[in-house]
Amino acid sequence: MSRRRIWTAAAALLMLTAAPAWPQEFTGEELAHRLGCRACHTWQGAGGTHGPALDGVGQRRSRPELAQQLTSTPSRRMPSFAFLRPQDWQALLTFLEGL
Ligand code: HEC
């Protein structure tokens, strides 16, 4: 495990255990902001370039493919987001499908 992945996992755990900050429903867009997707991805003209731009990703990828990308990344250049709650999953996937 690289140092960055360990820190990502630690940050994810911290977000989950800081319960009052994570109680309610979020829209997919809010989740994408909170989870820091824009550190590596651009959409709608803002974001990083470590990963591919996500505009139109809903046309390129099916929902199962998007879910797969978020949980297991063979290249290890993207952290896993498998820790998300089921309802957050659905919201995030619906947001990605609409990009
Ligand atoms: C540390 C950088 C990083 C972060 C943070 C990150 N990604 Fe990625 N992502 C990548 C890279 C790099 C790829 C290219 C494929 C690969 O290497 O796994 C990728 C690929 C993708 C793809 C597939 C794109 C395509 O065109 O097929 C999707 C969808 C995606 N990421 C969504 C997200 C979402 C949603 C988040 C936030 C929850 C996120 N990523 C956070 C680096 C990141």
CATH of the domain at 52: 1.10.760
Atom of ligand 1 nearest to the CA of 57: 26
The pocket around ligand 1, CB under 6 angstroms, is made up of 32, 35-37, 39-41, 50-52, 54, 57, 60-61, 66, 69, 73, 75, 77-79, 81, 92, 96
- Work out how many domains the chain is built from and give that number: 1
Say how far residue 94 (Cα) sits from the centre of its chain: 12
Judge contact between 70 and 63, C-beta under 8 A.
no
pLDDT in tens, 53-80: 999 999 999 999 999 998 876 667 888 8
Give how far Cα 18 sits from Cα of 23, 38, 88, Å: 9, 22, 16
| pTM check: above 0.95 | no
Domain that holds residue 37: 3-97
